[in-house]
Amino acid sequence: MTLPNASLAFTGLPFWTWQLVVALIVNAIVQAIQIGAYAARLAGVRTGRIATSISLFNLFVTASRLATLVYTLMLGPLSDTAGNAIKALLPRLPSHAIGPDRAAAILSVQHTFEWQLRAIIIAGTVGTLLGSLLLPMFTYIYVRGVKSFERTKSLPHSVLRMFDPRVIGSILQRIRVPHYREIFAFSTRGIPRRLLIFNVVVTGVYAIGVVAAYYASILDVNVARTAIGISGIINGIGTIAFALFVDPTSSIIVDEAVKGERPHEEVKAMVFYLSATAIVGWVLSQLILWPAAEIIKVVAHVVNRG
């Protein structure tokens, strides 16, 4: 028995919801802040205060990852809506076959949810690009933060100083889009290729770690909770990979620049290419979203059967 108005089941599933809009905005802001955190290394070289710059770097990264939970929270209602629509289309008895109308409606729901996730990834890509363009401003913020911390000896007080109208005005004056000649002036000489390659891979993993798990939960609603639980493992692997392959190499380059073993221009080039490869990672994540979701779905089945 087929559902007479199966196509109507999909048309009742809206694409734009307030949860999706919040997820788009928050993800764009979070990724811009994450890229802006790269500027802490350049600020450390300019001020000679590496440890202080790392403290500010950790503060911004931790705050951005906390904000990531907000957009992850918004994925819950989106996946619940899609999952409930699919469950309503499934036959009540396992022995009953899914008719062509129901199958088409289920595919429509999955397709809508997939493009909601792809929209979130696009928002993250835009945020990464925006953060890259604003790197001069972020560098200025970090330099001011380091100097303020040296005066006050209080990191919270230094952060609150950023909300002073005069400080905000000074920061806004630093907003400028880098000239294309500046961009093409950066050289990859002295920057390990593996650093850039690993940054593409790690960024791609971060970009789809959560959304692929939620997508997998809709591809097979029978293992939805298990699939979503796998997202934490994926992000954990990404965190370990960043700590093993990206962070140590970039830290060595910064230390060598502070000691005078490298020109400061190489640190600027490194920051630029780290942000550029992060953009590449976000773009490539669109290609691996579906394969990653399928792999997560298979793993979720294996865990359930085990």
Q: In total, how many domains does the chain have?
A: 1
Has residue 4 been placed in a domain?
no
Q: Determine, yes or no, domain membership for 8.
A: no
Per-residue model confidence (pLDDT) at position 98:
74
Does residue 6 lie within any of the structural domains? no
Q: Alpha carbon of 300 to those of 40, 83, 212, 271, 297: distances in Å?
A: 39, 16, 12, 38, 5
Give domain status of residue 5, yes or no: no
171 inside domain: yes
| pLDDT band, very low/low/confident/very high, at 79 (cuts 50, 70, 90) | very high
Contact 268, 191 (CB under 8 A): no
pLDDT at 91 over 90: no
Determine the straight-line distance between the first and last CA of the chain, rounded to whole angstroms.
33
Half-sphere exposure of 229 (CA within 13 A, CB side): 9
Q: Quick one: pLDDT band at residue 194, thresholds 50, 70, 90?
A: very high
Residue 1: inside a domain, yes or no?
Answer: no
**pTM of the entire structure?**
0.89
pLDDT at residue 7, as a whole number: 41
Average pLDDT over residues 22-47: 89
Quick check: is 218 in a domain?
A: yes
pLDDT of 114 strictly over 90:
yes
Where residue 94 falls among pLDDT bands split at 50, 70, 90? low
| Residue 239 to residues 207, 232, 285, Cα–Cα distance (Å) | 12, 10, 17
How far apart CA 235 and CA 83 sit, in angstroms, is 23
> In which band, very low, low, confident or very high, does the pLDDT at 273 lie, cut at 50, 70 and 90?
very high
User: With bands split at pLDDT 50, 70 and 90, how would you rate the model's confidence at 5?
Assistant: very low
Residue 32 in domain: yes
pLDDT at 96: 63
Helices and strands in the chain, H and E counts? 13, 0
Instruction: Write out the residue range of the structural domain in which residue 189 sits.
Output: 14-305
Q: What is the pLDDT of residue 97?
A: 65
